[in-house]
Amino acid sequence: MPSKPRASKYISLNVLNDLGSRSARRRFIWTFIILAAVTAISYWSASLLEPENTWSNFIRSVSSNLFSAALTVLVVYGAYIYFIREDIERPEIETLRPGDISDEIKELPEDTAFYFLWARSATYFRAETLQRLSDNARKARKTIDVTILLPDPQIKNLSEVYEDIVGILGENDGKDKLFKNAVATSAACALAAANNRNLKVRVCLSSFIPSFRIDMSDRGAILTEDDKSLYALKFSRQSQFFEMFRSMIISEVELSRTVDLSAYQWKRHRVGDEDIPVEALLSFGFPEDRVREYREEIFSIIKPKDHRYK
């Protein structure tokens, strides 16, 4: 008789996974390192007092015990991480602590043949992920197919909804942010693809605005929300939900319009160049009056310096 599927196969329920979390691991280790350092300093300071001093003996006794305990915990936990933790099979679905999301997203572009992003602004993608994909494609000398799915900024209702969302998040620092980000993302992708023959990039504009963000590669998929203080979900490549999201993205891409990234010779330029003409941005087919109005702002965010996963 076949055994019933365990919940832990699909989602992490093991308390030990909390100490396997990278952010929790850092806090745990540094807490005991600081404790060990403080007790060592206390023991040394007490040793400078008179040997017969009652307080001196008490402080040295307590300090030595606490130091030994902290050192023991660090050694045991270090052994657990080194010999056991990495061999534990990761569940098909993991909950990611807010502090772990950045580390996990940084690993997605590694050793992959494709990358999907379904988001609204793609700010973090332009700031970090696109460069990692380009570097990995060049280093491995293999083609990486990248597909970016963003809301169509020329659909008025989507722009209005986006403005409401960023306002709620307290990020309302200008109008037409959806438009600016769409053009900036197109420019960043065109630059990257033109200067790396192993990077094939497609930017698609959808008639749907997601309330989530999905990053997906051969290494798995990560589903995040707007609030960076919230947990995320990571789906392994073997998960049925991975294929569900993959099929959903592919279907939405087929229903979306594609931005022409090859209508201008972007190979002449690099990110950060100040001599990129406005005609380069106009080649994407966005309304000319709005592109000219926001030209400087768009160029400044092609590779943004600020993002939520620092």
CA 110 from chain centre, in angstroms, equals: 13
Residues 6+ apart with CB under 8 A from 119: 125, 148, 149, 150, 210, 213, 214
CA gap 34, 31 in Å, rounded: 5
162 and 151 Cβ atoms separated by less than 8 Å: yes
CA gap 49, 29 in Å, rounded: 31
Cα angle 38-39-41, degrees, rounded to a multiple of 5: 65
Q: What is the pLDDT of residues 295-304, one digit of tens each?
A: 999 988 888 7
Cα angle 100-130-21, degrees, rounded to a multiple of 5: 10
CA gap 148, 205 in Å, rounded: 8
pTM of the model: 0.74
Rg (CA), the chain: 25
CA proximity to 117, closest of 141, 150, 77 = 150
Beta-carbon neighbour count of residue 85 at 10 Å?
15
Q: What is the pLDDT of residue 131?
A: 92
The values of phi and psi at residue 223, to 5°, are -105, 120
Tokens of 305: 């310096």
Q: What is the pLDDT of residues 90-131, one digit of tens each?
A: 678 888 888 888 888 999 999 999 999 999 989 999 999 999
Tokens of 1: 């008789």
Residue by residue, pLDDT tens for the chain (310 residues) are 444 444 444 444 444 455 556 667 777 888 889 988 998 888 888 887 776 777 778 888 888 888 888 888 888 887 777 776 554 556 788 888 888 888 889 999 999 999 999 999 899 999 999 999 999 999 999 999 999 999 999 998 998 888 888 877 777 666 889 999 999 999 999 999 999 999 999 999 999 999 889 999 999 999 998 777 888 999 999 899 999 999 999 999 999 999 999 888 888 887 767 678 899 999 999 999 999 999 999 988 888 776 666 5
Which ranges constitute the DSSP H helices of the chain?
7-10, 16-20, 22-47, 54-79, 98-107, 123-124, 130-140, 156-168, 177-194, 240-255, 278-282, 288-293, 295-300
Instruction: Write the CA distances from 73 to 38, 79, 100, integer angstroms.
Output: 16, 10, 23
Block residue for tokens 């600020």: 306
Type of residue found at 268: R
123 and 41 Cβ atoms separated by less than 8 Å: no
